[in-house]
């Protein structure tokens, strides 16, 4: 599956603010704003809400396990994600790191089930290495900036540019996203100017006083 870029991905994680049915309000905000601005917005809710969120707006799973269906207690499978109505998955987030072998397997499973693969990396070297598996997106997220108040586009802009250049050499059809600390329009504008094709955010939206307003500001930085 191919998506129109730039892309805004909101990873809801497992914050207090998204427990129960709360992810649905994020999905409704995404649906409204995507129509208003003709923007690509994806929501990654906690696993139990994947199917409900997917009925409202394009949805990703927060993680994927490298298995086909079988005796895998507690696993989340690509086939299952597809059947729940999601369009793809985040893979190898800094809070859910995986081995290189498992990452590659998950990318292959996404291709098999026509799911969008969003692979998180911590640095330029990882970005270039994982580009060889040709995922749809690689999100650059230095772990020390995740959840903080300073974005990677401000603190380490060279990482974005170097990742874009490195990934393009290996896999021209893989797009680079910017994550970690992104919270406002300027952060997004800087990331896009450096070659990123979108952003991956979490706390900057989830913990905002007005979630729709915070998402709208990020979209304005993309367009």
Q: Enumerate the active-site residues.
A: 93, 141
Helix (H) or strand (E) holding 113: none
The DSSP bridge pattern shows strands 198-201 and 60-61 to be unpaired
Question: For residue 177, which phi and psi values (nearest 5 degrees)?
Answer: -110, 155
DSSP tag of 196? -
Query: Cα dist. 23→32, 74, 141 in Å?
Result: 14, 21, 23
Taking only Cα atoms into account, the Rg of the chain, rounded to an integer number of angstroms, comes to 16
52: which 2 tokens? Answer: 């409900």
Whether 81 contacts 98, CB under 8 Å:
no
* Residue 91, C-beta contacts closer than 8 angstroms, at least 6 positions apart: 63, 64, 98, 103, 106, 107, 110, 117, 118, 119, 120, 135
- State how far the Cα of 209 lies from the Cα of 218, in Å rounded to an integer: 15
22: which 2 tokens? Answer: 């709360």
User: From its phi and psi, is residue 4 left (phi > 0), alpha (psi between -120 and 50) or beta?
Assistant: beta
């Amino acid at each position: 599956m191919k998506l129109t870029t730039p892309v805004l991905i909101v990873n809801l994680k497992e914050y207090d603010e998204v427990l129960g049915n709360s992810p649905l309000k994020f999905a409704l905000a995404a649906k409204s704003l995507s129509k208003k601005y003709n923007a690509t917005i994806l929501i990654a809710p906690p696993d139990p809400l994947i199917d409900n969120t997917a009925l409202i707006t394009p949805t990703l799973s927060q993680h994927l396990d490298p298995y086909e269906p079988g005796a895998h207690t507690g696993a989340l499978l690509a086939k299952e994600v597809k059947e729940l109505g999601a369009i793809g998955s985040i893979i190898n987030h800094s809070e859910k790191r995986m081995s290189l072998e498992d990452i590659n397997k998950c990318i292959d499973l996404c291709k098999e089930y026509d799911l969008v693969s969003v692979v998180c990396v911590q640095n330029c070297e990882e970005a270039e290495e994982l580009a060889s598996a040709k995922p749809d997106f690689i999100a650059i997220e230095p772990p020390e900036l995740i959840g903080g108040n300073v974005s990677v586009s401000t603190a380490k802009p060279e990482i974005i540019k170097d990742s874009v250049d490195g990934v393009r050499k290996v896999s021209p059809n893989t797009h680079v996203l910017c994550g970690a600390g992104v919270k406002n329009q300027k952060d997004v504008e800087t990331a896009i100017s450096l070659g990123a094709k979108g952003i991956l955010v979490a706390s900057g939206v989830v913990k905002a006083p007005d979630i729709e307003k915070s998402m709208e500001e990020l979209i304005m930085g993309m367009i």
